[in-house]
Amino acid sequence: MHELSICESIVQTLEKQAETHEFSRVSVLRLEIGQFAGVEVESLRFCFPVVAEGTLAQDAALEITHIPAVAWCDDCKWSVSLKERYSSCPDCGGKALTLSSGEEMRIANVEVD
């Protein structure tokens, strides 16, 4: 379950930012997770409170925004939504797709005390 290590990295990042920006508690953590990021959101929700216990993120509300997969089709020159990673363009059937969103996972913002 790599979601555990993802949560550990998030907490480490928050602790480093706390030193730089001088805050002592995170009350809300907002993440953006792409459709193709390879993250099991429910596992992440389960792991986060366990990893955050005893840290500045303990009891922080975890809000997750789903980022849909979008690609540019070089064949029909349209931005298209994808349901599966290696699918064809839903408009023209072309294979020349460049993913523009859907793989990201990032801390969008935090509310701190």
| Annotated binding-site positions for Zn(2+) | 73, 76, 89, 92
- Can you spell out the DSSP letters for 7-70? HHHHHHHHHHHHHHHT---EEEEEEEEETTS---HHHHHHHHHHHHTTSTTTT-EEEEEEE--E
Q: Which residues are annotated as a binding site?
A: 2, 73, 76, 89, 92
Q: Which residues are annotated as a binding site for Ni(2+)?
A: 2
